[in-house]
Structure 1
């Protein structure tokens, strides 16, 4: 089929467009090296973005970050750079375009992959849409990060939590993403548990109404005061201390929360021990394991 003028209508129209200094235009990367990026603008002249006008990110590497085929928006600095090309600045375009994009990212809560480019007092620095963003130390992880240097040059997922174009301030956070992932992992682990499951845990805190026991793998559950031991106690600290290793039985799983019982786990173990009979090699006699000796290392009172 023969090509006609209509087939080139868009390109022809673009070739006659008027480009003025200060305009923001979009082109396709043709080539890139350490010094500059060359864009196809669908125009009689090509666009040139010098390396220093492409990004404000420290140690930004053009050849690693920019590739032929990428679409780039930039501001026209000069209609002729002296060599017949249009001189452009992506940094200037970023100052205009990025803030609207950042507001959109905040509204949607989109998860963004960034690399920490610097550490400062009280946090870290990363760039989103070419804009310098601050990640407070309290937002780098689920708990406050004392040494932010461990995050330098590391990839991290963040969300925009505050953006102010007038003050040129951008605040980022990884905490909400990590919290959501941890909660999902916890739910998945709980879904694999069944009522009746017996395991060992560590007492992590004592409350007036019971004890919280850490089961490992990010799971913990509550042993109500009535489920700690057979005898009545006024407070869990009468028979338990933080750090104690205890056997617990899962008695209920509701709304993602675990109810545990030390008393029922102990009853089960006692029953199993009473039923267990083993042979004494030398005498050939049968003996029942001493309940007291087997429970010697389990602190119940």
Structure 2
């Protein structure tokens, strides 16, 4: 089939095509100006998407975000304009269709790079897929954020937790991702430790059942009361106090839990009294006797070893 025949068939198909308001079409960008997009409708006339009908996102740029040859979805808002072109709205089609995408993103726990554009005491706002979204102050980080204004301009990794098409309500949480990252980071740090390793740190918490020791890199291990000392104690306070810097041996790593023993190091300390014990008189050499004439030496006389 020659190119001229293909063109003829295309024109013939277009002549039977009827476009009406409310139709959502896949159109191709064939022209870009400061104020509008010109699109191919595969129709007897071209389509126009005015700048104000492109997007609700204030960061949208018709020059930077659109390219010749792009295929986009747009809704017909005026099938017979005064100048003969079909007027379409990219944002109207987007706002109608995007909520199904957002609901799927929520189910898939898709992570978005959420740029904060505004802030108020209750949280921060930005845009996801051209839809205005909100992150509550309690969901910005691991802890409640008082100074939300400091986040303006920042980009947060966040997931969708509410996507209500009827209320046009889109809520995200960066806390979920921050928590997951913190758990992963903690696990990586723990994986570098080894049972039998000696660590030092400060006692940051005391309970009746033991003490918690911060051993560096935000890692905290538990030294159970039975592992504090070889002596019997009813309370850790009998031996240590909050803020003390102590040394301990790692005796177990169970997942992310670190078990420590302070008394294990006591067993490693040589007994300093070993060479200073008292010798009973009956086993001492007499002052007049030579050093090798002690009762022990006399006993050994005549015995072949």
Q: Note the 1:165-204 alignment, pairs <5 A.
A: 165-204=165-204
How many Å separate the matches in 1 of 2:14 and 2:265?
A: 78
For the pair shown, which has the larger CA radius of gyration, 1 or 2?
Answer: 2
Query: Equivalent residue for 1:208?
Result: 208
- Supply the RMSD in Å over aligned alpha carbons: 3.1
Length, aligned pairs only: 273
Alpha-carbon displacement from aligned partner over 1:226-252 (angstroms, at most 9, x marks no partner): 122333332234444444333232111
Taking a change above 3 Å as real, the CA distance of residues 252 and 50 of structure 1, as seen in their structure-2 partners, is same
**8 A Cα contact 1:30 1:69, kept in partner:** yes
- Give the structure 1 partner of residue 52 of structure 2: 52
- For structure 1, the 5+ residue unaligned runs are 275-301
Q: C-alpha offsets along residues 258-286 of structure 1, whole Å, 9 cap, x if unaligned?
A: 11122324554x45x99xxxxxxxxxxxx
> Which secondary structure does the structure 2 equivalent of 1:246 belong to?
strand
Q: Distance in 2 between matches of 1:160 and 1:222?
A: 36
Please give the alpha-carbon distance, in whole angstroms, between the structure 2 residues aligned to 1:89 and 1:253. Answer: 60
| Residue in structure 2 matched with residue 225 of structure 1 by the alignment | 225
Which residue of structure 1 lines up, in the alignment, with residue 298 of structure 2?
A: none
1:256 equivalent to 2:256? Answer yes
Confirm or deny: 8 A CA contact 1:186 1:219 kept in the other structure: yes
Rounded to whole Å, the distance in 2 between the matches of 1:173 and 1:12 is: 52
How much has 1:88 moved relative to structure 2? 1.8
Is the 1:117–1:152 contact (alpha carbons within 8 Å) kept by the matching residues of 2?
yes
Rounded to whole Å, the distance in 1 between the matches of 2:11 and 2:193 is 63
Equivalent residue, structure 1, for 2:19: 19
Quote the offset at 1:7 in angstroms. 10
Distance 1:12 1:255, change over 3 A: farther
| Partner of residue 75, structure 1 | 75
- 1:10 CA displacement: 8.0
**Contact 2:121–2:146 (8 Å) recurs in 1:** no
Q: Distance in 2 between matches of 1:171 and 1:103?
A: 11
State TM-score, norm by structure 2: 0.77
Number of the residue aligned with 1:149:
149
